[in-house]
Amino acid sequence: MCGGAQFSGSRRSKIPFLTGSIQKPISAGGSVSDPLFGAMLQSIIDGAPDKAAELAQQALAKGVDPLEAVNLGFAVGITFAGEQFGCGEMFLPDLLASAEAMKAALKILEPEMLKRGSERKGRGKIVLGTARGDIHDIGKNLVATILSASGFQIFDLGTSVTPEQFVAKAKEVDADIVGVSALLTTTMAGQKAVIEALDRNGLRPRVKAIIGGAAVTSKWAAEIGADGYSRNAIDALELAKNLMSKVVGKVTRKDMNKGTALA
Ligand code: B1M
The pLDDT assigned to 259 comes to 54
The pLDDT of 198-209, averaged and rounded, is 96
The per-residue pLDDT for range 69-79, each reduced to its tens digit, is 998 999 899 98
> Averaged over 207-236, what is the pLDDT?
95
Across 87-91, average pLDDT: 89
Residue 212 near ligand 1, beta carbon < 6 Å: yes
pLDDT at 14: 44
pTM: 0.86
Task: Indicate if ligand 1 lies below 6 Å from the C-beta of 81.
Answer: yes
- The full DSSP string for the chain is -TT-S---SSTTSPPGGGGS-------STT-S-HHHHHHHHHHHHTT-HHHHHHHHHHHHHTT--HHHHIIIIIHHHHHHHHHHHHTTSS-HHHHHHHHHHHHHHHHHHHHHHHHH--SPS-SEEEEEEEBTT----HHHHHHHHHHHHTTEEEEE--SSB-HHHHHHHHHHHT-SEEEEE--STTTHHHHHHHHHHHHHTT-TTTSEEEEE-TT--HHHHHHTT-SEEESSHHHHHHHHHHHHHHSSS--------TTEE--
Residue whose Cα lies nearest atom 64 of ligand 1: it is 82
Residues 125-178: tens digit of each pLDDT: 999 999 999 999 999 999 999 898 888 999 999 999 999 999 999 999 999 999
Q: From the CA of 128, give the closest atom in ligand 1.
A: 91
- Quick one: pLDDT band at residue 9, thresholds 50, 70, 90? very low
Supply φ then ψ for residue 179, to 5 degrees: -120, 125
Rounded to 10°, the helix 138-149/233-246 angle is: 50
214 C-beta closer than 6 A to ligand 1: yes
pLDDT band at 261 (very low <50, low <70, confident <90, very high): low
Res. 17: pLDDT tops 60? no
The larger pLDDT score, comparing residue 128 to residue 7, is at: 128
Cα(135) to centroid(ligand 1), Å: 8
Domains present along the chain, CATH in parentheses? 1-120 (1.10.1240.10), 125-247 (3.40.50.280)
How far away, in angstroms, is 248 Cα from ligand 1 center? 35
Nearest CA to ligand 1 atom 9: 82
